Structure 1
Amino acid sequence: MLYPTTLESKLGFDTIREYLKESCISSLGQDYVGKIRFTDNVQLIDKLLRQTTEFKQIVQYETDFPSSNYIDIRPHLSRVRVEGMALTEAEFFDIKLALRTIQECLRFLSKREEDNTFPFLRELAGPIAVNKSLADAIERVIDDRGNVKDSASPELASIRRRIISEQANLRKRLDGILRQARQNGWIPDDLNLTIRGGRLVIPIAAEHKRKIKGFVHDESQTGQTVFLEPAEVFDSNNEIRELEYEERREIYRILLALTDQIRPHLEDLRKAVNFLAQIDFIRAKAKLALQLDAVMPKLSERPLVDWTTARHPLLHLSFQKQGKTVVPLSVRLDEKSRILIISGPNAGGKSVALKTIGLIQYMLQCGLLVPMADYSEMGIFQNLFIDIGDEQSLENDLSTYSSHLTAMKQFVIGANKRTLFLIDEFGTGTEPGLGGAIAESILEDLNKSGAYGVINTHYTNLKVFADKTAGLINGAMRFDGEHLEPLYQLEIGRPGSSFAFEIAQKIGLPKGIIDRAKEKLGSQQVNFEKLLKELDIERRVFSEKNLEIGINQRKLAQQLAEYTALKTRLDNEQKKLLNDAKQKAKALVQEANQRIESTIREIKENKAERETTRQVRQELERFDKKELMPEVLVSDKPAPVEEEFETDNGAITAGSYVRISGQSAAIGQVLSIRGKDAEVRIGDLKSNVKLNRLEKVSRKVFKDATDVRDDRPRSQGVDMNEKMQNFSFNLDIRGKRGEEALGEVDRFVDDALMLGYPELRIVHGKGDGILRTLIRNHLRGYKQVGRMEDEHADRGGAGVTIVKMK
């Protein structure tokens, strides 16, 4: 059920019909446009929408689909029903062209059967058939200019040959007479033979008309020229005329026979023409859908409104011409929130939103694609009721408010769970207090009926009622409270302010009037409107902040991904370098140990001969300088020089500090004594040495020698390898005391210098900047430190110090 009867014009669907008619090729499709009707048959709606969707693809991508000669031949077929009636050549020509178009459409669709495209259009074409023998018969008789062919019958061909022959003879004779008349000066040189009354005649000056015997058929408007048929060609013209009569009789006979041949196929031809009309109509719907960027949403048999980015069709077409875009509408009405109460300022877009919902729903249930996102879902309603605009009538003695109440009576009586109602300016037209109370009672009744609907209102009591009542939900047309400009965006979930005072202030109404109005209204209502305004402003601010946060989060995610990839690559490279260094260090240490063991063995075997011992020691030192230092030692300290140590004359016992005679580097500690042999630990090595080859040294000499040896390549290589495995270029000292932090920084920098790191990162936090200042002042005392700077703002800024080494 639709209410009122003027629903189409109120929603603007009559304009949609006009657009469709303009898109039709012929009156065939236009007739179907006039037959569009609202329906709640889901299967029919689905089929109509799918047909249009398929034709959208044809219009966009298929250039070989026929697009001409959609001729309405229904009047011709009606004449065929009359026995003894013969169609004219022009009528047969129309039928020929229409049948050719129908055959091309059927041929196009049949080719698509293999790849199973356009199934709904192929289903439409399924029962359509054009009798091939009938089409061939028409093709044999009617040529491509709409005339009967010479080959239509042997008699016609003979008659036309004779006509041509007689006309040639006649023209030859008249040319001779015309030439003679020119020579005599009776006819101007620029005049030629012409036809009057179907007969060839000569144009001749009026004063010379009696000089040639014949019959005058006509004269010019001035009377200075007459058109004369010479007497000697009377018989020839008569002969041609008689042949033309014979030709017309033969043509009529042929056309009558062809008409009789068509008569048995009238029903199939009517179906074929109807198919052509449907194709024209569906094409028009597809072309309109392309203009609207319309789609087929998901259909639901239950009542539902779940739309995303819906646009008012007529507004979209109008804005398209102006190069503007329509602000889209997103709305959802379901079983929990069936009735939407839209509030907001005047000229804020409430009425447009209401008409958008009504027109789009009506279009869908008329089988038209709709402008919205294709993942939207649309339900099917049985009833569509609207109350939009002023329906006052002098004839029926109806005021504006009376007309609204009349509509509300129909709504309350007819509303059910499959009803969609739309009400603009609910309850207006009478005293606001009374109108608001009546409107709330009607709304309560409509809610109990289970109907779905959208209502525009300014009444506060309806906003409060919607907030407290199940099945109802508030909505607001967004408004820029700072600049007092409408945004035309629907926000569901909260009521909107009318911004009456703000708009009055912007227009320039005196401040005193506005203040008095606020006093008269009462603090409760003013506070309510103020709260709505503040909520709108806060929502806009938080929306902008959320957008900014979203952008920053995306940037952070991208930088994190880049950092992770870079760190992974650096870690892999570091592991590779460490593994290579570890292998080299291990090989060098093994070789050094072998050299030391070999040296000790040679010393033993040569029984500490001084010259041999010195040569072996020098060879070992050369190996140290040549092999170990370039590969392992990372230090700018000079190579240690050989020193002379002071000996201690005391007896050698367990725990004494000793050196091997003649070897300044071989200083160690006696672990135990067994007879004439002593077990000595030299660095990381243990060895048995004869007591007479050992010299006792003081603890100070041992300590100095041990410090020097710690800087030597062999033992340093082992320490460096371990440090390289455990070292990180990032030091976090947040929360530590100054003295403790400086100690960690010193160890950190020493390790970095030893391992050769060019850049370090110290995390100290921002705070008051005390720890940062302390650390940076301390680092300036290192001559190896080149410069210091803050980390990038995205990675810690002033809370992190980057140390660049020289």
Structure 2
Amino acid sequence: MHINQDQLEELEFPDLLAEIAPYAYSPKIADKITALRPIPQEEAEISLRKVAEYLSSFESSNAIPFHEYEDIEEELKLMLIENYRLDNSAFLKIKSITEQMGKLQKFFPQYGELFQHLHEGIKHTEYRKEIIDKIDKVFNRFGEVKNEASPALKTLRTEISHARKAIQENFNRVLTALSSTDFLDDIRESIIDDQRVLAVKSGYKKRVPGRTLGVSKTGSITYIQPDSVVKHQFKLRENLEEEKKEIDKILRTLTTEIAVFQPQLSDYQQCIFDLDFTRAKAKFAEKTGGILPKINRHQTLRLVNAYHPLLLLRNREENKDIYPQSFTLTQHNRILCISGPNAGGKSITLKTAGLLQLMLQSGILVPVHPRSEMFFFDRIMTDIGDNQSIDNHLSTYSSRLKKMSGIIREADENTLLLIDEFGTGSDPELGGALAESFLEFFYKKKSFAIITTHYTNIKLVIEQLPAAQNAAMLFDERTLEPLYKLEVGQAGSSFTFEVAQKNKIPKFIIESARKKVEHDIVNLDKTIVKLQQEKFEVEKLKTNLTEQKESTQNKKENLEKLNEQLQQKLFNFQKLYEDEHRKLQFGNKIEGFIDSYTKGKPRKEVVKDFVKILEQEKFRKLGSDKDESKKLQIVKRKITQQLKKETVQEKIAETNEKLEERRTKERATWLKIGQRVRITGSTSVGTIEKIDKNQKVTVNYGLFKTQISADELERI
């Protein structure tokens, strides 16, 4: 997807990523999240499915065995350096990463269907338990090198243990012997450089044989290591140095052995990073109610109960209400124009659509209803907020025109345009005309767009475009408060005078303003009523076409019926001819029998021939009866179907009458002033303002009023 940094910031995408990043275990993954950008569709869909699978694990008993870790990226580089030695902590991190991979490779196959895509990410990774075995051979569970790491180390540590024991025994012996003298200070002993020393009064220091290691600050105490301890101390120090060398040798060898598995460890690290990345997004989805909507290959964007995730979190913290929005964009309904009062939620609705689209195309689950559907755009282009540039000496309007120039160059049928306060920033009449031309251009380019505006001419143009629709942010005229609800199908009023009244503008000023615009409003009403009438004409034409279709169907059925009758008559004539012809043939045969019998043919042979003919006639008769029976069944079936059809039609007519009676009764209950309604077959929504005695209803559409029969309305 093509989108620049300014547009990402306008849609608050960096702020969203900043909310997700803290869920990552690794700082590197947190940085990766903050640098996240939209990715190709195939990659994004896989990422979305992984996140959805991980999210499902939070709600089940099948918790994924994944926990905090320390990355080994630096160690992976260092282990390849010849004769390099990793330290103890590095080996423990390597072991931890390897153990995690072992648990994951054991876990995912057990739940293959639940975590199909997560399993796919690790199943080809080669798990090498030898890595853990080699590290365990050297280190104990506390991360210390074992005595058994090498025979030499075991010997050295035995000698070290003996030396320490000898030091303790000899020191204790001297201390006990001197305790009965006055040579020692009250503290008796101290520790210098990790060595026990006698605290000898400086006046008696020559009386105690040993090595002097220090003097107190006052000089009153001399710290002496007894002679019997010195040789063991030197031996201990020598062994400790040898131990360090041996441990260094062991760890260098282990580093070389582990370096053989560097490719596998690199794969482990990448898998762990990917899982951390997925988990962070899943945790954010859990907090915001994110889901994976249906992903369309065709261009249908249907957001149902869509939330702005940042506003959702902010309002939740402040214990405020938040209102979801719903709307649809398709190839046949590409442009949505939102109007309504300021601070009514227009810009938030526009930003919600843009931010959710960025989230989806970046592999982040979106907070919408499961019935929602989305598809991938090639680019998102925005013009939101005040773009005044001091550095470039551009006014707000000039800056917006510069942006619009870029949009005109790049917008196509796979572009989503998000334009706030469309047309503002200049003379209302001239700026509105320019905005109207922009709109027509985007419409011809078949771009998808969500725009907000206060301009009436833009709303009117939208009404005339088949693949565009108006929408309004609803406003409570009684309380003069926004309802933050998007109503698709009608243009919204800016409620200029109502908002002015709420802000305590003097009434005489408001009334004066009303009079100044009254004439224009009348003209506007006429225009929109004309548009509405054109819609009625289209509906009427549609009804006429339906009636003509039904009439044609009836004529077709009548012709088919007439054809069947003619076919039946033809069949009857054919049958009559065949019967007469058969009778004639049968009579000729009888005449032949009589002649042959008269001429002397034996009676027995004549009877035999006659019986043979009778048998033939019998079989013919039986076959004819069967054919007649079949034909009778066909006729009976057709008659039954016709009767059923007539019965169904009668029932339908009866049902329609009952439905109409019910509608009339129901209409009587809801048909009242203030009820939100629309004309049957129309998408525009208005409010009943007046009902006269003849059931003629005056409907206020915000921009205009119209009068219509009550039976042509349906409530919302």
Q: Give the TM-score, by structure 1 length.
A: 0.62
**Which string of whole-angstrom CA distances, capped at 9 and with x for unpartnered residues, describes residues 501-551 of structure 1?**
11111211111221222233343238969999xxxxxxxxxxxxxxxxxxx
Match of 1:124 in 2: 121
Q: In the alignment, residue 508 of structure 1 is paired with which amino acid?
A: K
Give the drift of 1:45: 2.1
Match of 2:36 in 1: 36
Match of 1:154 in 2: 151
Aligned pairs (5 A) from 1:190-269: 194-196=191-193, 198-202=194-198, 212-217=208-213, 227-269=223-265
Q: 1:414 to 1:150 in 2, by over 3 A?
A: same
Pair 1:523 & 2:519 matched:
yes
Match of 2:322 in 1: 326
Give the drift of 1:328: 0.7
Give the drift of 1:89: 1.4
Cα distance in 1 between the residues matched to 2:248 and 2:123 = 36
Cα distance in 2 between the residues matched to 1:107 and 1:485 = 58
Give the drift of 1:46: 1.9
Q: In the alignment, residue 93 of structure 2 is paired with which amino acid?
A: D
Give the drift of 1:104: 1.6
On the 8 A contact 1:475/1:495 being kept in 2, the answer is yes
Match of 1:58 in 2: 57
Match of 1:770 in 2: none
**Which string of whole-angstrom CA distances, capped at 9 and with x for unpartnered residues, describes residues 164-203 of structure 1?**
111011012222333445544665666765351x544345
Match of 2:444 in 1: 448
Q: 1:436 to 1:342 in 2, by over 3 A?
A: same
On the 8 A contact 1:479/1:485 being kept in 2, the answer is yes
Pair 1:294 & 2:290 matched:
yes
SS at match of 1:2: coil
Q: 1:87 to 1:191 in 2, by over 3 A?
A: farther
Q: 1:375 to 1:224 in 2, by over 3 A?
A: farther
SS at match of 1:125: coil
Match of 2:424 in 1: 428
Match of 2:103 in 1: 104
On the 8 A contact 1:342/1:495 being kept in 2, the answer is yes
Q: 1:488 to 1:221 in 2, by over 3 A?
A: farther
Q: 1:39 to 1:94 in 2, by over 3 A?
A: closer
**Which string of whole-angstrom CA distances, capped at 9 and with x for unpartnered residues, describes residues 531-581 of structure 1?**
99xxxxxxxxxxxxxxxxxxxxxxxxxxxxxxxxxxxxxxxxxxxxxxxxx
On the 8 A contact 1:4/1:386 being kept in 2, the answer is no
Cα distance in 1 between the residues matched to 2:516 and 2:219 = 96
SS at match of 2:478: coil
Pair 1:343 & 2:363 matched:
no
SS at match of 1:381: coil
Q: In the alignment, residue 38 of structure 2 is paired with which amino acid?
A: F
Larger relative contact order (Cα-Cα within 8 Å, sequence gap ≥ 6): 2
Match of 1:631 in 2: none
Give the drift of 1:62: 3.9
On the 8 A contact 2:298/2:375 being kept in 1, the answer is yes
Cα distance in 2 between the residues matched to 1:144 and 1:168 = 26
**Which string of whole-angstrom CA distances, capped at 9 and with x for unpartnered residues, describes residues 757-785 of structure 1?**
xxxxxxxxxxxxxxxxxxxxxxxxxxxxx
Q: In the alignment, residue 479 of structure 1 is paired with which amino acid?
A: F
On the 8 A contact 1:310/1:328 being kept in 2, the answer is yes
Match of 1:83 in 2: 82
Cα distance in 2 between the residues matched to 1:84 and 1:205 = 52
SS at match of 1:306: strand
Cα distance in 2 between the residues matched to 1:205 and 1:431 = 100
**Which string of whole-angstrom CA distances, capped at 9 and with x for unpartnered residues, describes residues 602-636 of structure 1?**
xxxxxxxxxxxxxxxxxxxxxxxxxxxxxxxxxxx
Q: 1:96 to 1:528 in 2, by over 3 A?
A: same
SS at match of 1:332: strand
Cα distance in 2 between the residues matched to 1:345 and 1:397 = 31
SS at match of 2:473: strand
Cα distance in 2 between the residues matched to 1:60 and 1:187 = 71
Pair 1:398 & 2:394 matched:
yes
Match of 1:468 in 2: 464
On the 8 A contact 2:98/2:131 being kept in 1, the answer is no
Cα distance in 2 between the residues matched to 1:474 and 1:134 = 65
**Which string of whole-angstrom CA distances, capped at 9 and with x for unpartnered residues, describes residues 86-119 of structure 1?**
1111211221222222222222213324xx3311
Match of 1:270 in 2: 266
Cα distance in 1 between the residues matched to 2:213 and 2:45 = 69
Give the drift of 1:301: 2.0
Give the drift of 1:218: 5.2
**Which string of whole-angstrom CA distances, capped at 9 and with x for unpartnered residues, describes residues 132-155 of structure 1?**
222211121122222211111111
Q: In the alignment, residue 315 of structure 1 is paired with which amino acid?
A: L
**Max radius of gyration: which structure?**
1
SS at match of 1:494: coil
Give the drift of 1:60: 2.9
Q: 1:399 to 1:207 in 2, by over 3 A?
A: farther
On the 8 A contact 1:499/1:529 being kept in 2, the answer is no
Cα distance in 2 between the residues matched to 1:439 and 1:92 = 65
Cα distance in 2 between the residues matched to 1:220 and 1:508 = 86
Cα distance in 2 between the residues matched to 1:531 and 1:489 = 27
Cα distance in 1 between the residues matched to 2:212 and 2:13 = 65
On the 8 A contact 1:80/1:263 being kept in 2, the answer is yes
Give the drift of 1:353: 0.6
Give the drift of 1:31: 4.4
**Runs of 5+ in structure 2 lacking a partner?**
529-716
Q: 1:128 to 1:34 in 2, by over 3 A?
A: farther
Cα distance in 2 between the residues matched to 1:207 and 1:312 = 84
Q: Which range moves more in the overlay, 45-54 or 25-34?
A: 25-34
Aligned pairs (5 A) from 1:168-187: 168-184=165-181
Match of 1:617 in 2: none
Quick one: which of 137, 144, 151 aligns to 1:140?
Answer: 137
On the 8 A contact 1:340/1:473 being kept in 2, the answer is yes
On the 8 A contact 1:182/1:188 being kept in 2, the answer is no
On the 8 A contact 1:518/1:526 being kept in 2, the answer is no
Cα distance in 2 between the residues matched to 1:220 and 1:408 = 83
Give the drift of 1:61: 2.2
Give the drift of 1:360: 0.6
On the 8 A contact 1:28/1:280 being kept in 2, the answer is no
Q: Percent of aligned positions with the same letter in both sequences?
A: 35
On the 8 A contact 2:171/2:228 being kept in 1, the answer is no
Cα distance in 1 between the residues matched to 2:217 and 2:464 = 92
On the 8 A contact 2:413/2:447 being kept in 1, the answer is yes
Give the drift of 1:159: 0.9
Cα distance in 2 between the residues matched to 1:183 and 1:324 = 81
Cα distance in 2 between the residues matched to 1:98 and 1:205 = 57
Give the drift of 1:234: 1.8
SS at match of 1:130: coil
Aligned pairs (5 A) from 1:506-585: 506-525=502-521
Q: In the alignment, residue 387 of structure 1 is paired with which amino acid?
A: D
On the 8 A contact 1:341/1:456 being kept in 2, the answer is yes
SS at match of 1:348: coil
Give the drift of 1:330: 0.5
Cα distance in 2 between the residues matched to 1:272 and 1:83 = 23
Q: In the alignment, residue 519 of structure 1 is paired with which amino acid?
A: K
Q: Give the TM-score, by structure 2 length.
A: 0.70
Q: In the alignment, residue 8 of structure 1 is paired with which amino acid?
A: L
**Which string of whole-angstrom CA distances, capped at 9 and with x for unpartnered residues, describes residues 302-354 of structure 1?**
33210110111011112222334421110101112111110000110111111
Give the drift of 1:299: 0.3
Cα distance in 2 between the residues matched to 1:393 and 1:340 = 29
SS at match of 2:472: strand
**Which string of whole-angstrom CA distances, capped at 9 and with x for unpartnered residues, describes residues 193-232 of structure 1?**
5351x54434556676565444444567777766543343
On the 8 A contact 2:192/2:213 being kept in 1, the answer is no
